[in-house]
Structure 1
């Protein structure tokens, strides 16, 4: 049995240590928000957070993830109200929607590490997450919108 901390809860999975984290999340823990895209770490559909860092879950083994805090799209916000999830809806980002969990997870790791990310930093970070529908301008707009929302909330909290 392997122990994983997923979305704040310790879970046990009965698998080989070299199983990709993606399969443990989807098949063993039934967390289907993380998507299989290419299986080679090239598309970003399977992006999750390991200790707050965006990682391709198809390229991380269960053994490597053991001991790390794993966050999936399901754990980003219990009620779907994370500023990025709200911005995604406001900007009508998804078309087919398949890549969107990975896009949101990559964007949330970026904004957590760099709340004031520039347009170039956003483009650079997000360039590793592919969208076959080409919603890149809406993705970028949603990230900028979430930045402004976060900044407004932080300013209000500071003034209170």
Structure 2
């Protein structure tokens, strides 16, 4: 099985990674963790995103940090025989995710329910909604649980 997990460094995308890392996948499944740079840099799939030559340090730090954190989640939690690689693509997030999924022949695309900011979502539309509407394979949108700190027991049930 080929699972494409899109990350942007946000809380929701890392929640999606942790959710996928704790699942039991069929033996020899392939997991590709994808970071989309909407400003241009692109790297081939690799085991070490920070070591790629010719990538500006500021970008390398942002993408590398998000990818390293995501890959570490799989290393720490995954209890199955999977291969994990990372990739960076450029372009609009939804378009790049869909193109990567098609080119890589993904069986499943996984995205967080919200990305970096609500203003971006209002202006550009929801990446998860666009991917879900246009994907040629299954898509899972992982929603983070967020508790209202002013209501310590909101949404929770007591035994």
Relative to the length of structure 2, the TM-score reads 0.30
The structure richer in strand per residue is: 2
More relative contact order in 1 or in 2 (CA 8 Å, sep 6+)? 2
The structure richer in helix per residue is: 1
Relative to the length of structure 1, the TM-score reads 0.29
